[in-house]
């Protein structure tokens, strides 16, 4: 593995890569729970979405590592699933099966533009400050999801958001995790975020805020079937040829285009992979 990924040439080692990989997994694992919950509100089977989400992340990340040899993990994005569930399915009343066909068409258009090189030309034409702005916006969006999930911010009719209940145990645990991670980072500890997550999880178990697994079956079990949603996009392909669905498909495409561009720039810049814009 060290020879295949040229550890020596890149100045890294197995320990560093292991910590980096585990940190990345824990940082992105929230999508395994958020994505099924979000799409379940659109009527999709939560278990099937959970399985599909995991499979997409596995296939995408392995492909990126083995074939592109880039240290970038892939998983379903948070922006599109919210638009899919709340705007398209719930807001427009479009069946999720039909909306899924729209996602498929959007993805095919995306692949054609990528393979043809047009996407690269467009991304290169975007000024660097705008790329950084998109990346920062996506970062703030993900940070906001974390703050909401941790209970640090809650909905408020007057101000849209307000400070959460800081007397709640799980909220205090989230604050503790942020502080521990920040202290470790400022002290230059390698894998600070990873160790921050581990320490927070242990603290949560000690104080009864996180359930302690009592059997191996609670840690590892067979994944749920993806049968309830598998192939539905192909079965309803003939239902997308309407003006409304064409608008939906274009919206899917544009959100996906700039979301992935911003994420790619942010991650590649952080990893030192961007040269001359």
Q: Across residues 171-184, what is the average pLDDT?
A: 95
Domain assignment present for residue 14? The answer is yes
Burial 58-87 (b: 16+ CB within 10 A, else e): eeebeeebeeeeebbbbbbbbbbbbbbbee
Dihedral angle of Cα 51, 56, 58, 62, to the nearest 10 degrees = 170
For residue 136, how many other CB atoms are within 10 A of its CB? 12
Which one has a higher pLDDT value, 123 or 45?
45
pLDDT (tens digit per residue) in 27-58? 888 889 889 999 999 999 999 999 999 999 99
Listing DSSP states for 8-62 in one string gives HHHT--HHHHHHHHHHHHHHHTTHHHHHHHHHHTTT--HHHHHHHHHHHHHHHHH
Mean residue pLDDT of the chain comes to 88
pLDDT given for residue 55 in this prediction = 95
Domain assignment present for residue 103? The answer is yes
Nearest CA to 151 out of 138, 162, 141 is that of 162
Q: Across residues 103-131, what is the average pLDDT?
A: 89
Domain assignment present for residue 202? The answer is no
pLDDT given for residue 202 in this prediction = 94
SS (H, E, C) 231-267: CHHHHCHHHCCCHHHHHHHHHHHHHHHHHHHHHHHHH
Domain that holds residue 255: 7-147+227-270
pLDDT (tens digit per residue) in 78-95? 778 888 998 899 999 999
pLDDT given for residue 134 in this prediction = 78
64, 58 in Cβ contact below 8 A?
Answer: no
- What lies within 8 Å, CB to CB, of 213 at 6+ separation is 219
Domain assignment present for residue 264? The answer is yes
pLDDT given for residue 66 in this prediction = 92
Q: Across residues 168-189, what is the average pLDDT?
A: 94
SS (H, E, C) 87-143: HHHHHHCCCHHHHHHHHHHHHHHHHHHHHHCHHHHHHHHCCHHHHHHHHHHHHHHHH
Domain assignment present for residue 2? The answer is no
Q: Which two tokens stand for residue 203?
A: 């603290």
Whether the per-residue pLDDT at 203 is higher than 90: the answer is: yes
Domain assignment present for residue 12? The answer is yes
Domain assignment present for residue 78? The answer is yes
How many domains, the chain? 1
Which one has a higher pLDDT value, 80 or 202?
202
Domain assignment present for residue 28? The answer is yes
| pLDDT band with cut points at 50, 70 and 90 for residue 225 | very high
- What lies within 8 Å, CB to CB, of 187 at 6+ separation is none
Instruction: Tell me what percent of the residues of the chain surpass a pLDDT of 70.
Output: 100
Residue matched to tokens 């690269």: 120
| pLDDT band with cut points at 50, 70 and 90 for residue 63 | very high
| pLDDT band with cut points at 50, 70 and 90 for residue 6 | confident
271, 71 in Cβ contact below 8 A?
Answer: yes
């Amino acid at each position: 593995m060290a020879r295949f990924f040229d550890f020596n040439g890149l100045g890294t080692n197995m320990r560093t890569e292991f910590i980096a990989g585990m940190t990345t997994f824990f940082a992105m694992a929230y999508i395994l729970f958020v994505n099924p919950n979000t799409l379940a509100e659109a009527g999709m089977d939560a278990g099937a979405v959970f399985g599909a989400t995991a499979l997409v992340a596995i296939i995408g990340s392995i492909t990126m590592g083995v074939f592109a040899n880039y240290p970038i993990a892939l998983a379903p994005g948070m922006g599109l699933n919210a638009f899919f569930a709340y705007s398209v399915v719930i807001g427009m009343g479009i069946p999720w099966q039909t909306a899924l066909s729209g996602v498929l068409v959007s993805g095919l258009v995306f692949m054609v533009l990528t393979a043809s090189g047009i996407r690269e030309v467009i991304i290169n034409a975007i000024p660097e400050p705008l790329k950084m702005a998109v990346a920062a916006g996506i970062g703030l969006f993900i940070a906001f999801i974390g703050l909401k999930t941790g209970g640090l911010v809650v909905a408020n009719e007057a101000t849209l958001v307000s400070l959460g209940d800081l007397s709640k145990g799980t909220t205090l645990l989230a604050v503790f995790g942020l502080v521990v991670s920040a202290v470790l980072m400022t002290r230059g500890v390698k894998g600070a975020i990873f160790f921050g997550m581990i320490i927070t999880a242990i603290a949560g178990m000690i104080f009864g805020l996180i359930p302690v697994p009592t059997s191996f079956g609670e840690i590892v079990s067979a994944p749920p079937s993806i049968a309830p949603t598998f192939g539905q996009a192909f079965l309803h392909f003939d239902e997308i040829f309407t003006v409304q669905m064409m608008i939906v498909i274009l919206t899917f495409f544009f959100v996906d285009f700039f979301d992935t561009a911003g994420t790619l720039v942010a991650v590649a810049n952080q990893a030192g992979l961007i040269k001359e814009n």
